[in-house]
Amino acid sequence: MTRAQLMGRLITLAARLVTGAQGHWEGAPPEALQRIYFANHQSHLDWILIWASLPEALRAQTRPIAAKDYWQSSRLKHWLTREVFNAIYVERDGAAAGGDALAPLVAALAAGDSLVIFPEGTRSLTGEVQRFRSGLFRLAQQFPQVQLIPAWIANVQRVMPKGEVLPVPVLCTVTYGAPLALREGEDKDAFAARARDAVLALRPAGA
Amino acid sequence: MWRDIYLSLARAEPAMQVGVLFVTLFGLLAVATVATLRVGLRDDLSPLGRAQLAQWRRDLSAAWLGAVVFWVAWISRPWGATLLFAVISFLALREFITLTPTRRSDHRTLALAFFVVLPAQYLLAAGQWFDLFSVFVPVYVFAALPIVSVLAGDAQQFLARNARIQWGIMVCVFGLSHASALLILDLPGFGGRGAFLVFFLVATTLAGHVGYVVVSQRPQRRPRGEGPPARGIDKRFSYTALGLGTALAALVGVLLGWITPFGWLQAALMAALAGASGIVGALIMQALKIEAGVRVWGNQPALTGAVGLLDRIAPLAFSAPLFFHTAYGYFRPAG
């Protein structure tokens, strides 16, 4: 086992101990198909939870997106995201940098990898799900064969609220829904709203 | 012949006696498992029978798990046993907190509960500092939690939030830690046989629970009027079931009295105490579940993915401290 694999195991173990990191596959079984998982975003731990709730065999091919300026700013952060999570780096402000912000994602999908994205763009601190950005729509247009799986991450905001450093043990779940497909002639706003509804529909009662 | 076996066992070393206890326990479980397998092979089972068999299988595997935990705890006592019970406490408290509404400002209080109170309580148990062990949660933690909470500066539902967390600690940490303390408690003249006390406690609590369930589930005549108020919590509740469950626990206690330092009357009373507190403890957990809006602790596809651990340990969490303090108070080591 390499050092990165060991680190991955340790992170998964810690996530299980603190949160349970249970995945509930309600709409589709966990399969080694090419997929884009899209979920609500409330905490820095969201990615860890999705990753830990996936079967081990799917983890290596399922990649998160990391902001280049932050996650390459120290050797540890860079190593963690590159070697352990196999992250895709993007410029925080792609338009300003003069390039297409989605280009690295497109490249990863073209290479056959699966992605995890948070279409709200930023973390929601109120618990309400914000408007979805258009990136998911554009990826769906370019890769119609990739399954789009909505997911709801429950309870994670209780584990580590903003400004705290110590996580508190609370059981968390990731509920995966049925694949969503782009409809004929659907425009980007209609699709973004439908994708947001699909994520919200997975929200458990009382959470 | 039985008398000879009994007499030679009674004179044997404690380690030998405990060995016989575990061989008997695992033997009974093996017999039950084989019998269950044979029933499962029959093809004339009704769908209801199949469902009951599936439930029985789950209960049986929980019993196996419990027995293995018990055995591992025994051979690794005091530190391994303490660690094992501490982990169970951790999982139970995690389940409890998950289903309890807390606010962002409770974060540090919760961190204190999980990372300071829980380890400290089990350290006190492992070190056999039973005097501080007894008052640590009711006195010191009771004072510390609201202090941490008030420093967070959120007055919304202050009493309710603190009461919930204190309560969770009392049940999941304080209550359960007494089962591990019982395992390493050396009563005068009964040293090295703590496993028998835990076995006695679990067997009598279980007997009370089973007696209650069996009696309360038999077809009943429609009760006159409303029935006892507790029907709002468990619609099969009756005082007859509570009484008969307690009586069954007392009977099992008398039958098992010879493995404890208790005389037969003491054994009956201790068993009745364990049985009754276990039944009522399960009822209290039921009330809490209704308040939280769930049917089974954990294993709730909507919210959590745990195994419903609290359901399994609730009777024990209530009966263990009562049992421990009664035994400890009565047989308190001199000096």
Q: What is the pLDDT of residues A137-151, one digit of tens each?
A: 999 999 999 999 999
Compare A206 and B41 and report the one with higher pLDDT: B41
Same domain, B132 and B43: no
CB contact under 8 A, A164 and B107: yes
In this prediction, residues B289-296 reach a mean pLDDT of: 72
What percent of chain B has pLDDT above 70?
Answer: 92
Q: Is 90 exceeded by the pLDDT of residue A105?
A: yes
Instruction: Report the distance separating Cα B203 and Cα B221, nearest Å.
Output: 31
Give the minimum alpha-carbon distance from A76 to chain B in angstroms, rounded to a whole number.
27
Which residues from chain B sit within 8 angstroms of residue A207, using beta carbons?
302-303
Residue A167 reports pLDDT greater than 70: yes
| Helix intervals (H) in chain A | 3-19, 46-53, 56-59, 68-71, 75-79, 103-110, 135-142, 156-159, 188-200
Does residue A52 carry a pLDDT above 50? yes
* Domain-located, residue B264: yes
| B53 CB-contact burial (10 Å; exposed 0-12 / middle 13-18 / buried 19+) | middle
Distance CA A158, CA B102 (A): 8
Do residues B133 and B3 share a domain?
no
Q: How far apart are CA A64 and CA A83, in angstroms?
A: 12
Q: A168 and B304: CB-CB below 8 Å?
A: no
More confident of the two residues B164 and B335 = B164
Predicted pLDDT of residue B66: 85
Q: Is A10 or B303 the better-scoring residue by pLDDT?
A: A10
- Predicted local distance difference test score (pLDDT) of residue A144: 93
> How much of chain A exceeds pLDDT 70, in percent?
96
Cβ pair B304:A207 closer than 8 A: no
For residue B168, which of B277, B90, B273, B233 has the smallest C-alpha distance? B90
The pLDDT mean for chain B works out to 86
Q: Inform me whether the pLDDT recorded for A61 exceeds 70.
A: yes
Query: How large is the C-alpha radius of gyration of chain B?
Result: 21
Q: Looking at A33-37, A150-154, B63-67, which range is the least confident one?
A: B63-67
- Does residue B82 lie in a domain region? no
The domain in which residue A40 lies consists of: 3-8+15-200
What is the model's pLDDT at position B88?
A: 92
Residue B302 has pLDDT above 60, yes or no: no
What is residue A99's predicted lDDT score, i.e. its pLDDT?
62
Nearest CB to A204 within list B90, B110, B302: B302
Q: Do residue B286 and residue B160 come from a single domain?
A: yes
pTM higher than the cut 0.90:
no
- Over residues B160-204, the pLDDT tens digits come to 999 999 999 999 999 999 998 998 888 777 777 788 888 899 899
For position A46, which CATH number holds? 3.40.1130.10
CA distance B292 to chain A (A): 10
Span of A22-26, A87-91, B220-224 with lowest mean pLDDT: B220-224
Say if B83 falls within a structural domain: no
Range of the domain at B176: 88-330
Residue A133, pLDDT above cutoff 60:
yes
In chain B, the number of structural domains is 2
Residue A99 identity:
G
> Based on the domain organization, do B125 and B267 belong to the same domain?
yes
- How many angstroms away from the CA of B40 is the closest CA of chain A? 29
Query: Looking at the predicted complex, does its ipTM rise above 0.85?
Result: no
What's the domain count of chain A? Answer: 1
Domain assignment present for residue B81? The answer is: no
Q: Which chain A residue lies closest to B304 (C-alpha atoms)?
A: A171
